[in-house]
Each structure stands twice: as structure tokens, then as C-alpha cells.
Structure 1
Amino acid sequence: MSGEEVLVAGGTGFVGRRLVPALVESGRTVRVMTRRPEEYDGPGTAVGGDVSDAASVEEALAGTSAAYYLVHSLGSDDFESRDAAAAATFGAAAGAAGVGQVVYLGGLGDDTDELSPHLRSRREVEGLLGSGGVPVTVLRAGIIVGHGGISWEITRQLVEHLPAMVTPRWVRTRTQPIAIDDVVRYLVGVLGHPDALDRVFEIGGRDVLAYAQMLKRVAAISHRPLPIVPVPLLTPGLSSLWLSLVTDVDVRTGRNLIDSMVNEVVVRDPAVREVVPFEPMGYDDAVKAALEERLEVL
């Protein structure tokens, strides 16, 4: 698929702004869909488009062979309905435009578990993106470690701002964090791959850790002591308000993410390693890379 045009919806976000240059480097011609194309100054070609406006999405997709969907509305109270409507619009437009593949970055989580609203919404979006008949490739990830990522920023800022942590029970939940560079490598690797069409893949880094272990390892790498005192009665609502006091994460976004932290998010099926074979980064190396990038941009 090298040389063919690919659209990235959400190309100016945390993942998208790293994916676009990687796609360009791989030889793809890239369109970056944004509501403010006049302000875009990165690689690829900016095109106007808004996932709530079907006509603009159809115009942005016209002539493309594949599309990435990296859009979500976690900062909104009605994010589930917003994300469902946007995904349905995008899926229908992709089908009308004759797109050959849609690639979506979703969330890990066992379907037999009682998933949080955030993770349920991600599952719903997976289905709606294929409503226009286009083969969808889904990559499900847990916490993505990289400068500017919301989940990572919560972790980094908690360690940086607190001399000790009073935490709810979700700090015992296991997760499989993955470095942003490895996420991008998987996203590029499945593009145009015949064995990736109409499949759901689970992606994660080398380590499976409880949230408490993640916090302690970041503290150790940052040379900061961080005693952790679990408090069972600290509710998700109180947790999100607490986060707003010690981090700059939006309360709604923080609440939606915290609700998901009761769900174990680990890779059960490593099939993606057969399609995009490489050894993912360990958590400590991912943390060091994120901290180094932050220092470079400050």
C-alpha cells in the first residue's frame, strides 16, 4: 500500500501526531483530518473534516485507500453517544468512499468482565466503524506510555506532586502498559496487511504490572520516594476530584479513565506478534523515553 493515500482522523492528537510522520516515512501519502486545517503545520496534507459532519468526512475520505480512526470524546459528559454517532458517520462515509481498510485504536479489557462505560464505548465504536461494510482492524491497548498521553500524565504527575499516596483499591488492578513508539509500530504494521483485515488484536508491552507497581517504578526512576497507603472507601468520584487537585487532567476525563481502572487490561491473545513481529519495550524503558521526551520539549 506504499504510495497510496491514507487518511488519519485524529491526526493532531497524542497518538496521531506520532503516527503521521511514521506513515510518511514508510512511503504513504497522508491526509490529516482536522477541524482547523489552516493551523496544521506538520507532515502530510491537512484536510478539513469533523466527525459530526458527514459531508466533510466523505470529502476528506474521497480517493483514499485506508483510514485511521483515533477520535474520542472522553472529556464530555455524553461521550458514549457522541462517540457512537461519530463512529457511525465515519463508517458510513468510509463505505461510500470505497475505503479498503479502517484501523482503530481501542481499549483492552475482557469481554466477559463488567466493562466500564469507557471500555463499553470503545467496543461499540469498533462495530460502528464497520457499519459501512469496510474491513476494520482493531488494536486494543491499555495504558500508553508517552509524553502527553492522558493516562501517562496522570501517573507522572501523581509521582511528581505527592510525597505519599492515599489510593483506592484499583491500584491493585493489573495492566499491561505499552510504549507509544510500539503502538505506532503496530499501527503502521497492520496497514494493508491481508492478515489484519477484519480482526481484533490485543497489544501490550513486555511487563504486566499493578497500578501501584507502575507508580513505584516511575518514582524509583525519578529518584522520588512514594509510600502508598490503600484506602478501600476512596470512590471513583472522589478519586477523580482528588486527581483534579494534584494533576492538570480534566475532571470528566479523569473520572472516565478511573472508572476503567477496575477492569484488568492485559493481553490474552498475542496473535498480533505474528502479523507485526517485534519485541515490545519494557515498562522502565518506556518511562525513561517518556521522561526524556518531556525534557526535550520543555
Structure 2
Amino acid sequence: MSTVLVTGATGFIGRRLVPALLDAGHDVRAMTRHPETYAGPGEAVGADVMDADSLGSALEGADVAIYLVHSLDDPDFERKDAEAARNFSAAAAGAGLKQIVYMGGLGDDEQDLSAHLRSRREVEQLLGEDGVPVTVLRAAIVVGHGGISWEITRQLVKNLPAMVVPRWVATRTQPIAIDDVVRYLAGVVDHPDAIGKVFEIGGPDQLTYKQMLLVANEESDGRQIPIVVLPLLTPRLSSYWLALVTDVDVTTGRNLIDSMSTEVVVRDTSIRDVVPGEPLSYRESVRRALAERAAGGR
């Protein structure tokens, strides 16, 4: 088994991944900027990806690092994420890591990618520029209680008697359950067939955003919500609309919405050869997210 450092250990994915890695027999370091307040499992270590000098001690003796950092809530997120990735790449190489695992975003390189997805691609490259092999898992919307994209969906169907939505609701995507994301992340750690590879991960369903809203509505309370598509609702106006009817801030909403006009579906299923198992359906992932919220999950 390996010593694994998890960045973003208190985040949406990280707080679920740390116990899964411990269950798999790994020694886990939970990296956070505030280790004194960390109450989760694993060994808390203090470091900040924007502070290059803080990373060396956190990575010393680790075999694998899982990189779950992004700055979507910052208007200058592309520059900040690139700087953080460069810092981490250099520190990981200096510590002699065998592997970095990164959560990227789905989307064909030939497409006109949004700033958000372009930044994810750039981070993929920068994390490996000092020689540590990078395993990339590219995903679309991750469905689970507390995830930003899922919260947008849940709050829209909960808060609105009717929805006037932008034309991007007709774009296809391939959502994936948080349970499957955690399973894939844990499964590629120190796996010889995953080192240096890029994998696409998704659930079994390819859906438009409108179809996702309808399923979420059916599983929430079943009331009928009329959905009217307004083609002239621009990404900028859409972000203000989201901030008005959900608790997602304008900057994060804008960065996510810019990606929603790009079709993001899985075209390569080779991850199933490395980490076998059938992923959950979108409907089941919605049910689990709603159940966790009802049970008081944070």
C-alpha cells in the first residue's frame, strides 16, 4: 500500500475520498490550509498550493498525490490554477512522487473549449512538467450532495415554480455519481495500468441539461415545472440569474455556465478495464444525493 496525499481533503470530493483510501489500506495525509481545525480521518498536514515553500514537508515521504484543487470562485482562476499546478509539480518532483492523480474535465480537445475546460487541460499538462507521471480522470457533472453543479440543479427545481432557461439546456452531458468518482480515484492510485494515462469517466446516461432537470424534479417532489427556453439569455445574464435563484455566486456560476454550451460525453471507456464495475444511473445518483441531504449530510 502507498502513502497518499489528498489535496482539498475537506472539499466535496476529498472528504469522501480520504476514508475510501484508508479503507483500501493506504496511509493518507489530508492536506488543508488549516490543519488545526481538521476533524476528518487520516493525518492532517498543513500546506497551500499557492505557497510553494509550504508543499515540501507535506509531500515528503508520500508516494502518490491526488490533486483536487481549483479556483472557480475567483475571476482570475486561470492564472491562479496554473501557478498552483506549477508549484505542486515542482514540489512533487522534489519529493520523488511516483504518481499524481488529477480530476479534469470532459471535452474533446478539438472543440472550442470554455475558459474553465481550457484551464483544466492546462493544469493537466503543468502538473507533469517536472516529470512526475500524471493520471487524469476527466468528468462532466458530478452528482452528489454538496457538489456545486448538483446544487445548481437541485436548487433550480426546488426554488422555481417555472423555469426560463438558456439554450444550453439542450446540450448533452454525461453526469456521474460522486460514489463512482471516489471509486475511480481510489482505484487508479498506484495502479500500473493507470500511470501517465488519461481516462474519461461518466455514468451510463447521456442527457441534456433539460432532461437532468426533469429527472431531478421527479425525484424531488414530482410537481410539474414548466421549462421555457429563452435563446437570448446570454452566459453573463445566466450567471446573474443563477445567483438570484440559487446560493451559487456569480463568478462560479459564470465559469460553469461558459462550459455548458460544450457537449461533454464519454467516448473512451477504458477506465472500466482498470477499475471494473458498473456506474450508477443518473436517477440513482440523484436519489442518493437527496437522501444524504435529508439525512443531514453536510
TM-score, length-normalised on structure 2? 0.98
Matched, 1:190 2:188: yes
| Matching residue of 2:291 | 292
> Aligned ranges for residues 148-167 of structure 1 at < 5 Å?
148-167=146-165
| Matching residue of 1:63 | 61
User: 1:206 is matched with which residue: 197, 201, 204?
Assistant: 204
Residues 159 and 224 in structure 1, CA contact (< 8 A), matched pair in contact too: no
> Aligned ranges for residues 1-298 of structure 1 at < 5 Å?
2=1, 4-222=2-220, 223-297=222-296
Residues 29 and 44 in structure 1, CA contact (< 8 A), matched pair in contact too: yes
**Gapped regions of structure 2 (runs ≥ 5):** none
- CA offset at residue 227 of structure 1? 1.1
- Segment drifting more, 252-261 vs 222-231: 222-231
- CA offset at residue 224 of structure 1? 2.3
Distance 1:37 1:221 in 2: 38
Distance 1:225 1:55 in 2: 54
Distance 1:224 1:144 in 2: 24
- CA offset at residue 54 of structure 1? 1.1
- CA offset at residue 110 of structure 1? 1.1
SS at 2:193's partner residue? helix
TM-score, length-normalised on structure 1? 0.98
Distance 2:240 2:6 in 1: 34
- CA offset at residue 55 of structure 1? 1.5
SS at 1:103's partner residue? strand
SS at 1:194's partner residue? coil
- CA offset at residue 169 of structure 1? 0.7
Distance 1:66 1:23 in 2: 12
Distance 2:179 2:96 in 1: 30
**Gapped regions of structure 1 (runs ≥ 5):** none
Distance 1:201 1:190 in 2: 10
Per-residue CA deviation, residues 201-237 of structure 1 (Å, 9 max, x unaligned), is: 0000010000000000111112121111001000000
Residues 147 and 291 in structure 1, CA contact (< 8 A), matched pair in contact too: yes
Distance 1:51 1:127 in 2: 16
RMSD over aligned CA atoms reads 0.7
Distance 1:179 1:99 in 2: 29
- CA offset at residue 57 of structure 1? 0.8
- Number of equivalences: 296
